[in-house]
Structure 1
């Protein structure tokens, strides 16, 4: 299919509020869940060596994934929902009442007789999560599109081969028990203007291992794996990298105005592979704190500081970095501020050991109750931070 036609159709659908999600239904925590998952997804796409990709936020459902930022030919539309506990029920996701005593025998979905469809209550289908996804799929006639309901929780739906979709994911709606497939066929047909049966293979259920109370961990792990492969010297900056991506994504989830062109839609609500690679390139330009710490300590060792002292400083520096990431304490912030002031008034000299020993003397006069190696470690980390900030 012509990519220009795909972009035009995507713009038309995105400008229709009927197919967008605003995030209000599941709160700020749910919006954050979608943002952090989006970072994981971008890393997955990059590791898969996709030639191009674009994620559009709050345009068609929660996230729309395209195969091109300029001339898309394929799209995947996501409902991204977090759940604090339990599994998703049939009634919540479909707006219908689950069949009782469902058969798992294979059965080809058919268009139900009009009288049968009228006898069933499908009024809530269009407002359900899967109903909204189906409406979005119906909106596309040119672009090849599939839908995905994605959550940290499973869906308690029986499968045709036995078992539950809650534990066997991902799967398509066509993989469900026959009676459930038939009910969904009828329910989704009610959303079509001509009552034609849907292609349930185009809609998937997917569970992701992202805990609502620890959203950043999977993204950091995914980024770490990518950086080890692509830029080992910056692997220690995985956390900073994903946090910067989330900050870039956040404004994209707030757009509500209609866009006049596909290019404007991409600019206002999209994050492309090009932008992702730009973030990686920016990371390359920032000195890695771990590498700078190694250089600093190696120089101290070369100037005669013994190995055991170097090792103790390295361990203390790791603790200091962890403390910094967690917000620190009043005492640690005082030591950092004192170190910053000392660095500002004492220009570095060619030898690191006497320079560091002079800083330690000043620090001990102010913070005598602290261990020497802890003070040196904090001073070294502040010196490294100053170096990074200058770059």
Structure 2
């Protein structure tokens, strides 16, 4: 395989607006969904020990996944769409009318059958699966497959029985015979005279990411990866994935043509090396629970009793877990109060006096909470402020 031609072909297709899928017309959740999924996908690729990868954003459909940022030999093109409720219907995804289910009604006369309307394919080019097929058909040198990926299933009948809505991933070639024939004809109409459509290259995939809670799957996967690679930084999983999403955001807003494949990678790509660099940066940031141990030892040295120290340690671990899950409105209110108090009060030479003064102020506003819970929240916020300043 000529990898130079593959890279050149990728650049040519990426520079053609016909094959890109820009997010400007989507609501905020629609724009965020592909970014959070992309972070989740990078975790999957890294956990699978892929030797290399590159994700290109809004260059070819929503996301294009390559096996190398310099010498690509294969690609996977994704349309990543969120749906707030229900399943995807045939007409929405294909732009055609689904074949009718056979019934026991009497057969039409030959004359009536002959006068039956031929299926209309005028909406196919603008349909999600039509666009995905067109993107694949633009490649000749590079082996490419396409994936329609969503949080919702697709209500398509399978040849083996059942529905694609509950049997995913699957390919379009796995659908019921009449549906396969209709799609074959529909896609063939987009490129008359070209090679027959290969429906096995087009996949339907469902991902467990809820539009109202985009962060949870990426954080959970990051926790697994960090527990395996860097257990002492597992508590920073949320900050890690949020940092990755921030790095991806500008890549999804660039639409200018690129002069070379290298420019395309630089302007719209995120590679495994970039992912590993983000992971390495995490190693330089002190873990808050490690710093907590240092602070609690200092408080104990200044006379705070052992039982209080133990209770604060347990409460701090709960607070850190709460933070990883996004926190509650009340916990955020306590954190904001702590931040404001820290900003308004100078540090003292005694850590215990500083913490106890903060605790007194917290107890006035949050009297329903136990002292050690409030103390743990305050100490963790104070540690966070110290880390952020560095």
The TM-score normalised by the length of structure 2 is 0.88
**Structure 1 CA distance for aligned equivalents of residues 8 and 295 of structure 2:** 55
Equivalence for 1:243: 242
Inter-partner Cα distance in structure 2 for 1:365 and 1:175: 66
- Which of 346, 349, 360 is residue 348 of structure 2 equivalent to? 346
- The yes-or-no answer on 1:335 pairing with 2:338 is yes
Question: Is 2:335–2:381's contact at 8 Å kept on the other side of the alignment?
Answer: no
Most deviating of 364-373 and 151-160? 364-373
The separation in 2 between residues aligned to 1:31 and 1:48, in whole angstroms, is 27
8 Å CA contact retained: 2:359, 2:375? no
Deviation at 1:216, TM superposition (A): 0.4
- SS of 1:148 mapped into structure 2: strand
Bigger mean CA offset, 179-188 vs 333-342? 333-342
> In structure 2, how many angstroms separate the alpha carbons of the residues matched to 1:39 and 1:102?
44
3-state SS in 2 of match to 1:153: coil
Q: What is the CA–CA distance in structure 2 between the aligned matches of 1:256 and 1:10, rounded to whole Å?
A: 15
* Residues 333 and 193 of structure 1, relative CA distance in 2, 3 Å threshold: same
Task: State the Cα deviation string for residues 134-180 of structure 1 (Å, max 9, x = none).
Answer: 00011000011000000000000010110000000000011111111
RMSD (Å), alpha carbons: 2.5
Name the counterpart of 2:220. Answer: 221
Gaps of 5+ in 2: 104-113
Give the superposition deviation at 1:306.
3.9
Q: CA deviation at 1:304?
A: 5.8
Structure 1 residues 274-307: Cα deviation after superposition (integer angstroms, max 9, x where no partner): 1100100000010011221133324545666444
Alpha-carbon distance in structure 1 between the residues aligned to 2:215 and 2:385? 27
TM-score w.r.t. length of structure 1: 0.88
CA deviation vs aligned residue, 1:234-281 (integer Å, no higher than 9, x gap): 000100000000000011111111111111111111111011001000
What is the alpha-carbon distance in structure 2 between the residues aligned to residue 166 and residue 80 of structure 1?
A: 16
**Aligned match of 1:73:** 73
Task: Name structure 1 gaps, 5 residues minimum.
Answer: 104-114, 348-354
Aligned partners of 1:122 and 1:190 also within 8 Å: yes
Residues 298-357 of structure 1: per-residue CA shift (max 9 Å, x gap): 454566644431232134435655479557566653433333454x4435xxxxxxx233
Say if 1:309 and 1:157 are closer, same or farther in 2 by CA, change over 3 A: same
Instruction: Output the CA distance in 1 between the equivalents of 2:360 and 2:270.
Output: 51
What's the offset of the Cα at 1:388? 1.5
Aligned-partner SS, 1:271: strand
> Cα gap change, 1:257/1:99 in structure 2, threshold over 3 Å: closer, same or farther?
same
SS in 2 for 1:147: strand
Map of 1:293-372 to 2, 5 A cutoff?
Answer: 293-301=292-300, 305-318=304-317, 322=322, 332-342=335-345, 344-347=346-349, 355-363=350-358, 366-367=361-362, 369=364, 370=367, 372=371
Distance 1:89 1:255 in 2: 31
Q: Are the equivalent residues in 1 in contact too, given 2:355–2:379 (CA < 8 A)?
A: no
CA shift, 1:384, in A, is 1.6
State the alpha-carbon separation in 1 of the partners of residues 361 and 208 from structure 2: 47
Counterpart check, 1:165 vs 2:169: no
The aligned length equals 371
Greater alpha carbon shift after TM alignment, 297-306 vs 195-204? 297-306
